[in-house]
Amino acid sequence: GDSVTQMEGPVTLSEEAFLTINCTYTATGYPSLFWYVQYPGEGLQLLLKATKADDKGSNKGFEATYRKETTSFHLEKGSVQVSDSAVYFCALNYNNNDMRFGAGTRLTVKP
């Protein structure tokens, strides 16, 4: 079935470091792809999305590009801040089924 696999955490970085969180997907067609962020004690918030191949989603300095050839949607940020510490979820939605989430990657950014 449709699924996403994201890199296991936790990930610990120093402030201003470059961030990459890998995400690959399996789907029979062309799903919409998403990154959500969950700050401590809160619900998930949509961070960015891409609905077709080669689309780039971006928000708050985060970016991810929908790569059909590698079935990937890696999340990147050029310079992380302490306030970016959270759990990040990759997800896909295909054929109007329920959103399928990855296992989440915990990011901790140290000053």
| Nearer to another protein (CB atom), residue 69 or residue 98 | 98
Q: How many residues sit close enough to another protein to count as binding (CB under 8 A)?
A: 22
What distance in Å separates the CA atoms of residue 63 and residue 47, rounded to the nearest whole number?
9
> What distance in Å separates the CA atoms of residue 81 and residue 34, rounded to the nearest whole number?
21
Which residue carries 């919409």 as its tokens? 32
State which of residues 46, 78, 82, 110 lies at the interface with another protein (CB under 8 A): 46
CA gyration radius, the chain: 13
Is residue 108 at the binding interface for another protein, with CB under 8 A as the rule? Answer: no
**Does the protein bind another protein through residue 34 (CB under 8 A)?**
yes
If one asks whether residue 73 binds another protein (CB under 8 A), the answer comes out as: no
